Amino acid sequence: MAKDIHSKAGSALPPYFNIDPDAAMADLDQPTDTARFAEIAEGCTRGRADLASRGLNEEGAKSLRLFSTWEITRYLIPVAQAHFRRVLKANPELPQGRSETEGGAKWFTLDEVLRLRAFFAAQGSKAKNYLPYRPEGLPAKLVAVANFKGGVGKTSTAAHLAMSAALDGYKVLVVDLDSQGSMTSIFGGKVEDEWKTAFPLLARHYGEHLRLENQRRLDRGDAPQPLDESLTAAMEMTAADVIQPTHWPNIDLIGAQLNLYWAEFQIPVWRMAARSWKLWDALTDRLEADGVLDQYDVVFIDTPPALGYLTINGLSAADILLVPMGASFLEFDSTGRFFDMLHSTFASIEEGENLAARALGRPEIGFEWDAVRAVITRYDGAQQGELAGLVQAYMGPTLSPHRQDYTALIGQAGEQVNGIYEADYRDFNRETYARGRETFDETYAAFKRLLNGVWRREELALQAERAAF
C-alpha cells in the first residue's frame, strides 16, 4: 500500500490563504484620525513612566547601586582582596563600606570607590596604574557616536562607554543631541523643554555672531538685524545652565527631549540670515568658552540617527568618531552610505568655505578627526563570523577588530531599565554576569587604547613644541 508522503502539518496551507474578508473587517477598529495619535502617545508616555520607575528609588530618582569588595578588587582597583582589607583596617579614616549581614561582604558607593582609588594611587605601588592616563595641559576629548542606521546599539554603546570611563576614574560629560532622549532616560535626566538641552548653546553661538555682524552693519551705515526674544534669552545662558548631575557621581548630562528637534528647523533659518555663521563650530566653541573642556576628561556625544544639523554639530565637535554597526549586509551597506554622506557633507562645507577664504586671502579650513573607528555590536559569532570577517577585509583598520557580543545579561539589564554596569551581579549567575560585562569591558579597552594613544600623541607634540621655544 502506498504511503501518504504529506503529513498533516505539511499539507496545511500557508496562513495567508483563505483569509475571510468579513472576519478581517471585524478585526478592524475605527479609522485613525489625528487625535488618535495623541492618545497612542499618551499611552506610551504612561508605559514609559512605568518602566522607567522600576529603576527609581523611593524619592523617584535613579540611584547607583553599591559595589562589593569582590567587584572593586576584580574590576576597579587592581589589588588583592586580602590586601584591600588590610589597607582599610590600617586606615580607619578611609571608607569602610557597609555589610548587609553580620560578617557579610562589604559594599561601597562609587564615590567611596573613587576616594579609595585616589588613596591607592598616592600610597600604593608605583608599578600599578590606579588612575587612568590623563595628560596635563590638554583639554577633554570629545567622542561622537553616530550612524544613521537605527537599531545598531548607538545609544547603548555611548552610554556604556560613558559608564566604563566613569568606573575607570574619568570625569565624564554626556551630551544627548537626539530628540528621542534615550540617553537622557538612561541617566535619569529631567528635561522640561529645549531650554535645558544643547539648543541654548547653539542659539548663543549664533546670537554672538549676529551681534558682531550687526556692529559691522552699523559701521557701514546699514540697519542691524534684530535679535528675537529667544536669542536674547540664550545670550544670557552658559553650559552650566543646561548641565545636570546624574546618579553617577562623575557623570554629568546635557539632556534632550522632543523640542530639541526644533533646532533642525531653526538652524537653517539662522544660516540663511547669516551665511558667514559657522554653525559647525557652535557646540565646540560654546563648550570651550564655558570651560567645559577643562572640567571634564571625556565628553560623549550621542547623535540623532540622521545626518542633520545637530549631527553635523556633534560630528564636527568630535575628536574621535565611533560608528556602531551590525554584522549584516544591510547594516554594512548603510554604514558605507553613512561614510559617503560624511564625505559629501564635510567636503561641501570645506569647498564652500575655502572658496571664500581664498578670495579674501584668509587661511583655509579642513576638518580632521584624531581617530575614526567602526564597531560591530550585537554580534553573534555562530552566525555572523564569516560576514564580519568580510566586512573587516573591506574596511581594514577603520573597523575595530573587537566585536561586541550580545549576551543574556544585555537583554536582562535592558528589561530592568539599567546599563550593564548598573546591574547588580547578585541578580544573575556570577559567571553570566562576568561573561556579560566582559564584552563591554573589551569594547571600553579598545576605546581607551584609542583615547590614550590620541592623548599621548598630542602630549608628545606639545612637549616638542615647548622644547622648540
**280, 312 contact by CB (below 8 A):** yes
In percent, the amount of the chain with pLDDT more than 70 equals 93
Summarised one tens digit per residue, pLDDT across range 370-391 is: 999 999 888 787 888 888 898 8
Considering the domain 141-454 in this protein, what is its CATH number? 3.40.50.300
309-317 and 263-273 helices cross at what angle (nearest 10)?
A: 80
- Pairing type for strands 399-405 and 371-379 reads parallel
55/436: higher pLDDT: 436
41/318: higher pLDDT: 318
Sequence-separated (6 or more) residues with CB below 8 Å from residue 51: 417
User: How many Å apart are CA 166 and CA 182, to the nearest integer?
Assistant: 19
Angle at 437 between CA 323 and CA 110, to 5 degrees: 100
pTM reported for the whole predicted model: 0.88
Map out the domains of the chain as residue ranges: 67-123, 141-454
- Give the single-character DSSP code of 61: S
Retrieve residue 24's grid coordinates.
478581517
Identify the pLDDT of residue 4: 45
User: What's the CA dihedral at 29, 35, 37, 43 to 10 degrees?
Assistant: -90
- Pairing type for strands 106-108 and 98-99 reads antiparallel
User: How many Å apart are CA 185 and CA 179, to the nearest integer?
Assistant: 11
Identify the pLDDT of residue 326: 86
Retrieve residue 360's grid coordinates.
579674501
CA torsion sign, 123 to 124 to 125 to 126? negative
Sequence-separated (6 or more) residues with CB below 8 Å from residue 322: 143, 144, 145, 146, 157, 158, 161, 373, 374, 375, 447
